[in-house]
Structure 1
Amino acid sequence: MAQAGNAELIDDFEQFFRNYYDAEIKELAQRYPGEQRSLFVDFDDVHRYNPDLADDYLAQPEQLRQYAEEALRLYDLPIDVSLGRAHVRIRNLPETETPEIREIRSQHMNRLVAVRGIVRKATDVRPKVEEAAFECQLCGTLTRVPQSTGDFQEPHECQGCERQGPFRVNFDQSEFIDSQKLRIQESPEGLRGGETPQAIDIHIEDDITGEVTPGDHVSAVGVLRLEQQGSDQDKSPVFDFYMDGMSVEIDEEQFEDMDITEEDKAEIVRLSQRDDIYDTMVDSIAPSIFGYDQEKLSMMLQLFSGVTKHLPDGSRIRGDLHMLLIGDPGTGKSQMLSYIQNIAPRSVYTSGKGSSSAGLTAAAVRDDFGDGDQWSLEAGALVLADQGIAAVDELDKMAPDDRSAMHEALEQQKISVSKAGINATLKSRCSLLGAANPKYGRFDQYEPIGEQIDLEPALISRFDLIFTVTDQPDEEKDANLAEHILTTNYAGELTTQRAEMNSTDVSAAEIEEMTESVDPAIDADLLRKYIAYAKQNCHPRMTEAAREAIQDFYVDLRSKGVDEDAPVPVTARQLEALVRLAEASARIRLSDTVSREDAERIIKITRDSLQDIGVDPETGEFDADIVEAGRSKSQRDRIKNIKALIGDVEEEYDDGAPIDVVLERAEDIGMDESQAEHEIEKLKQKGEVYEPKTDHLRTT
């Protein structure tokens, strides 16, 4: 009876193929086995053809796959090709059969399921033996043993001379297949509330191996299996899940977990048409933090990001914006970062002290994954944040060589790895939002800010916007801030009291009134959907007026650097930043064009940002060198002059230039004594001058 049932199922599949996949099977026959060895079948098609057959496929995937492949072998083809080893691979399972990795339970065992996530590690593709041919070394008889279980099976005795070996594997007569192991981890956007992401290992074979690299977002369909924990001597009653993969596809969809309904779309479009949309957006970011409207608007622009352009010659201009907040302690930087991480559709948060360069980019690891002897790549934070935001707090606390790993990720948006014999390029198309403290903990208003930022100029120049957050006493501002913080705390107290204590004398209306002041203007869930919707559907282009405004601003700033002695105000990198910001500003309105208003809005933001860091405190002029090279032009001139002065004085004295003489003559080159002392100290630290004897200087 079972045989009849099997024949019936095979006929069923043959009929299904004839109705739905005739053209695909003929194409497969032409390309088999060199270019293609699999027929990909959409689960919806099976369900449409016969819902019972689809349900059986979910419950008994192994058996039904065998019947489907048998039906493929028996299929009537116009050309004489045997599809003997072709695979039938199911894909696009319904949402009901796509559990989160953390939701996989024992009831899913041996069922067909789909999982979504990001490839954390991948081994190299290696041959795996399917049927081993053992040659008896005494009589030469070949014994074939199928290798289906995890351990390598040898024959018990020779079929020819009935002795128990010795045997040798004959590789020519054995059958091998490519195999690879992937570790898939939950996507960052699915995790809320700081959960630790969970992972599952997937074993894949034959033609779907070698297609994905660490950092790719994938959907994998397969059968859940169990493998026992513990060693051979000490076996545990607890088992681990792994998956026998049937198909693995790269998800090009950016925010696949975003479920945007028609009502959401209507609400998003309604919001985008408001006149005060920009103010509303600012009020939706960290409402518990007072002020910082420019910074909050810039963070919003960063969430929406500019448009990534692909040029005909194959080059790519990044659309992601990078932003850096440098500020005094206690100004709420980390809180703003955490809030952004919470509303970004895809985000990874990391803190400087707890991050190494390998943890940020990619690590080559050798562990129990794979066979333990080979190295595999493990994706780091900037790769996991691909197409989202990476928030890095305490940037200044990282080791300099760890920070330098970020340079390529920021500008080229890829990470090249050459470790342990692995040469790979991983994608890291993310925006970076960094926060750092000044070199001495707080800002010193008399020092140029470039000197107080303890970050390499090469890294700083890659940020599109840099804001400094200083904490200056100001009576009116302090009164407003105090009121805001106390109101926020009071609203929190009322909410907690209401939840924890039943007998509270405060009415619900009063609680509502208090919490309203600290409620975001747009709910975080809706805002997340708004951002995802804008990034998917909105790719604005520049209008002539906007191009003109940006060009004029840039040329005007640059023109201040024409004079031979004048500093160079901004570099071409700043121009690209202006374009990206303007596109992001248009995206907030869901507009297809970048208007002049967008250009003016971002010119104001850029001017404020430059005012913060790019102004030489001595001359009051914009100077790009402060950011690009870490020193303003006037500082460079000062250093040159003082070195020349030491050189001149040195020639007059045998023991080197006496410091007091140098300080006396410093006034001749327009420097007061304290400035000259400061510069001499710096030159000594850099090794450009030294003291051959006490209080005497020589240049190196």
Structure 2
Amino acid sequence: MARAENTELIDSFEELYRDYYRNEIGELAQKYPTEQKSLYLDWGDIYRFDPDLADDVRSHPEELRDYAEEALRLYDLPVDVKLGQAHVRIRNLPDATDIREIRADHRGQLIAVQGVVRKATDVKPKITQAAFECQRCGTLTRIPQESGDFQEPHECQGCERQGPFRVNFDQSEFVDAQKIRVQESPEGLRGGETPQSIDVNIEDDITGEVTAGDHVRVSGVLKLDQQGNDQDQSPMFDTYMEGFSVEIEDEQFEEMDITEEDKQEIVELSGRENIYDEMVGAIAPSIYGYEREKLSMILQLFSGVTKHLPDESRIRGDLHMLLIGDPGTGKSQMLSYIKNIAPRSVYTSGKGSSSAGLTAAAVRDDFGDGQQWTLEAGALVLADQGIAAVDELDKMAADDRSAMHQALEQQEISVSKAGINATLKSRCSLLGAANPKYGRFDQYEPISEQIDLEPALISRFDLIFTVTDQPDEEKDRNLADHILRTNYAGELHTHRVESNKSNFSDDEVENVTDEVAPTIEPELLRKYIAYAKRTCFPTMTEEARAEIENFYVDLRTKGTDEDAAVPVTARKLEAIVRLAEASARVRLSDTVTQGDAERVIEIVRSCMEDVGVDPETGELDADMIEAGTSKSQRDRIKNIKGLIDDLEDEYDEGAPVDVVVDRAEEIGMDETKAEHEIEKLKQKGEVYEPQTDYLRTT
């Protein structure tokens, strides 16, 4: 650009500062250089001031940044401060470029990308101007270090010899530098694409702000870097960005664009009387039945309110739900439907998930300079502020499952690997699906004994649904009719689209497909959920509080007898509160009413009756889930061990099995149950056989 034009551009920036940024520059002058080093310009302000200048900023960002910084140095400041090293950073570009849409044409332009930080190196000093001292005559030679390679002087300017040289650190200039890898956000991916990423180099005051798992918007210049090494250079180039500004987007669903028409439609929907039925109809319409489960999934999508208390403790609002059921009951299909509807979601399946893949992996590679350890965020971290759907939960290795415990309750993940100690956020809801222990439910065994998951993990789920597959003529007929109708609708639609000589009219196809269409369009439902979570924070009415309190206290009173089991724990109470808040959010209501409380109590009660009932007493027993054994079972084990103890003293060889069983029968225990418990004790190593059919306690 010509000299006159340069002066013109510097003048333009000075005028822009006077019109738009007077206060900001005054604040920068007061805080420079310890607290603040950068002036942030909003691209929209530049465009309003001069559209041509805004276009130049996008097409020649680095040149214009130099002029903008020069204008800042020439600006008349109210205080006597020199802004010699202050940066001008441009942010809020109107449209972000998808990482997978970056092309060669973008080279050298100012672009913005959005995504999740997958890796971030440590902040390291980087030399920008190296002062070389000649070892022979002591002359200093300063060489700016612009490109990727380290530039050394060819010869000394004093004695004209070729060295040797030593870097004088006191006379050199350094800047903080960091490299981050930004990967596409999971909510932007449809159809199982592999997420793509771009590396961003950032410098000075914007370093050290982000960590793996943060959602960010980065503005910067796209650069190219040649592949291969010096001897074997390739015609192919890698892209990377020089970052101008990095903003952390903690706001949920920032990228969901909700127009005024959408808002009107959402508010109109929320006022309908049958809104809950419509919501249920919008979830996986191709799967027949499961109204209770689908309603719970809707409540999970809307989620309760996360509370922050004055003492800085936090009560989670996210709901966790587990579906355990026979094969072929449509669990995985419901999970993948939810994954598509949730504004932010990550789907993973049991066998394919390791504990590092769920939480965070410490990886050693050449990201940055030289081999170093970095943290890579796993699925539960990427699902932060959304839903993590984990299928085949029972097929996971037990130690991989244990990685979830902290993520479910505290909603953060502590990582101590390869000398890195970090805590990552995982504020997500977990929707899990699993099969029973033996592949299918055995109707003669209590359901809680057939759940092949650790009690500590199970107790963290707010709702556990069991989906059994029992033949029933009427139900089977309805199911068959529904599946055939769904398939027929699919056939007609495909036939109409793919076949040139289709003899079905549009009306015929529409009539059939209407029967299996969701009651609310998936796109509108996603916006509805995002809108509700963004704007609606319901509070509990007195009636709702009383309803929930009475339900909980009534259940607990059944456990006050000396021999009775504890029917329910306080964890369930918190689950009911979260569900009731979610129920209010579905109506976009600011208050949780008695109706909400009754609706969710019904769901919780039926879940508890499915899973938390002791089959022997018929009473609710929280330990069936929380501890994995019912109270009556524990009592039996105690009794059997007591009997063996007593009989050991009477017989030299140990307690004979048949005598133990006889005594157990005398105190009212079934013979088969007694044998079953003895077998269990032997497996656990609490009892052993010194010789066949004789027992001793360990």
TM-score (norm 2): 0.99
* Residues 1:528 and 2:526 are matched in the alignment: yes
Distance 1:136 1:387 in 2: 57
Partner in structure 2 of residue 184 of structure 1: 182
User: Is the contact made by 1:295 and 1:467 (CA closer than 8 Å) also made in structure 2?
Assistant: yes
User: Is the contact made by 2:366 and 2:372 (CA closer than 8 Å) also made in structure 1?
Assistant: no
Distance 1:412 1:204 in 2: 32
Partner in structure 1 of residue 487 of structure 2: 489
Render the CA deviation track for 1:170-207: whole Å, top value 9, x for unaligned: 11111100000010111111111111111110000000
Partner in structure 2 of residue 35 of structure 1: 35
* Residues 1:202 and 2:218 are matched in the alignment: no
Partner in structure 2 of residue 101 of structure 1: 99
Partner in structure 2 of residue 16 of structure 1: 16
User: Is the contact made by 2:287 and 2:330 (CA closer than 8 Å) also made in structure 1?
Assistant: yes
Q: Which runs of 5+ in 1 are unaligned?
A: none
For structure 1, which segment, 175-184 or 366-375, has the greater mean C-alpha deviation from structure 2 after superposition?
366-375
Give 1:660 deviation, angstroms. Answer: 2.0
One of 266, 272, 275 as aligned partner of 1:274: 272
Render the CA deviation track for 1:478-515: whole Å, top value 9, x for unaligned: 11111111111121112222222233343332322221
Distance 2:365 2:501 in 1: 57
Q: Which runs of 5+ in 2 are unaligned?
A: none
In the TM superposition, 1:394-405 aligns within 5 A as 394-405=392-403
Letter of the aligned partner of 2:35 in structure 1?
E
Distance 2:225 2:37 in 1: 29
In the TM superposition, 1:243-254 aligns within 5 A as 243-254=241-252
Render the CA deviation track for 1:389-413: whole Å, top value 9, x for unaligned: 0000011111111111111111111
* Residues 1:657 and 2:655 are matched in the alignment: yes
User: Is the contact made by 2:283 and 2:338 (CA closer than 8 Å) also made in structure 1?
Assistant: yes
User: Is the contact made by 1:641 and 1:669 (CA closer than 8 Å) also made in structure 2?
Assistant: no
* Residues 1:327 and 2:315 are matched in the alignment: no
Partner in structure 2 of residue 623 of structure 1: 621
One of 166, 173, 193 as aligned partner of 2:191: 193
User: Is the contact made by 1:446 and 1:617 (CA closer than 8 Å) also made in structure 2?
Assistant: no
Letter of the aligned partner of 1:166 in structure 2?
P
Partner in structure 1 of residue 547 of structure 2: 549
Distance 1:264 1:558 in 2: 45
Give 1:291 deviation, angstroms. Answer: 0.7
Give 1:230 deviation, angstroms. Answer: 2.1
Render the CA deviation track for 1:262-318: whole Å, top value 9, x for unaligned: 111111111111111111111111111111110000000000000111111111111
* Residues 1:471 and 2:435 are matched in the alignment: no
Give 1:167 deviation, angstroms. Answer: 1.1
Partner in structure 1 of residue 309 of structure 2: 311
Distance 1:58 1:87 in 2: 17
Letter of the aligned partner of 1:160 in structure 2?
G
Distance 2:5 2:623 in 1: 79
Distance 2:25 2:504 in 1: 72
TM-score (norm 1): 0.98
One of 585, 588, 594 as aligned partner of 2:586: 588
One of 506, 509, 515 as aligned partner of 2:513: 515
Partner in structure 1 of residue 67 of structure 2: 67
Distance 2:678 2:335 in 1: 39
Render the CA deviation track for 1:295-350: whole Å, top value 9, x for unaligned: 00000000000011111111111110000001111111110000000100000000
Distance 1:581 1:405 in 2: 25
Give 1:692 deviation, angstroms. Answer: 1.4
Give 1:69 deviation, angstroms. Answer: 0.3
User: Is the contact made by 1:286 and 1:339 (CA closer than 8 Å) also made in structure 2?
Assistant: yes
Distance 2:548 2:181 in 1: 46
Render the CA deviation track for 1:349-376: whole Å, top value 9, x for unaligned: 0001111111101111111211232211
Partner in structure 1 of residue 53 of structure 2: 53
Aligned to 1:517, the other structure's residue is in SS state helix
Letter of the aligned partner of 2:113 in structure 1?
V
For structure 1, which segment, 646-655 or 359-368, has the greater mean C-alpha deviation from structure 2 after superposition?
646-655
In the TM superposition, 1:417-456 aligns within 5 A as 417-456=415-454
User: Is the contact made by 1:327 and 1:438 (CA closer than 8 Å) also made in structure 2?
Assistant: yes
Give 1:113 deviation, angstroms. Answer: 0.6
In the TM superposition, 1:78-227 aligns within 5 A as 78-95=78-95, 98-227=96-225
Distance 1:308 1:543 in 2: 18
Render the CA deviation track for 1:498-555: whole Å, top value 9, x for unaligned: 2222333433323222212211110100000010011011111001000000000000
Distance 1:281 1:231 in 2: 58
Aligned to 1:341, the other structure's residue is in SS state helix
Aligned to 1:566, the other structure's residue is in SS state coil
Distance 2:522 2:310 in 1: 38
Give 1:46 deviation, angstroms. Answer: 0.8
Letter of the aligned partner of 1:174 in structure 2?
S
For structure 1, which segment, 232-241 or 387-396, has the greater mean C-alpha deviation from structure 2 after superposition?
232-241
Partner in structure 2 of residue 302 of structure 1: 300
Aligned pairs, how many?
Answer: 698
User: Is the contact made by 1:366 and 1:372 (CA closer than 8 Å) also made in structure 2?
Assistant: no
Render the CA deviation track for 1:561-597: whole Å, top value 9, x for unaligned: 1111101011111111000000000000111101100
Letter of the aligned partner of 1:426 in structure 2?
L
Distance 1:549 1:240 in 2: 62
Give 1:650 deviation, angstroms. Answer: 1.9
Partner in structure 1 of residue 687 of structure 2: 689
Aligned to 2:516, the other structure's residue is in SS state coil
Distance 2:506 2:146 in 1: 66
Letter of the aligned partner of 2:83 in structure 1?
L
Partner in structure 2 of residue 614 of structure 1: 612
Distance 2:344 2:356 in 1: 21
Aligned to 1:650, the other structure's residue is in SS state helix
Partner in structure 2 of residue 291 of structure 1: 289
User: Is the contact made by 1:383 and 1:426 (CA closer than 8 Å) also made in structure 2?
Assistant: yes
Give 1:422 deviation, angstroms. Answer: 1.4
Give the CA RMSD over aligned residues: 1.1
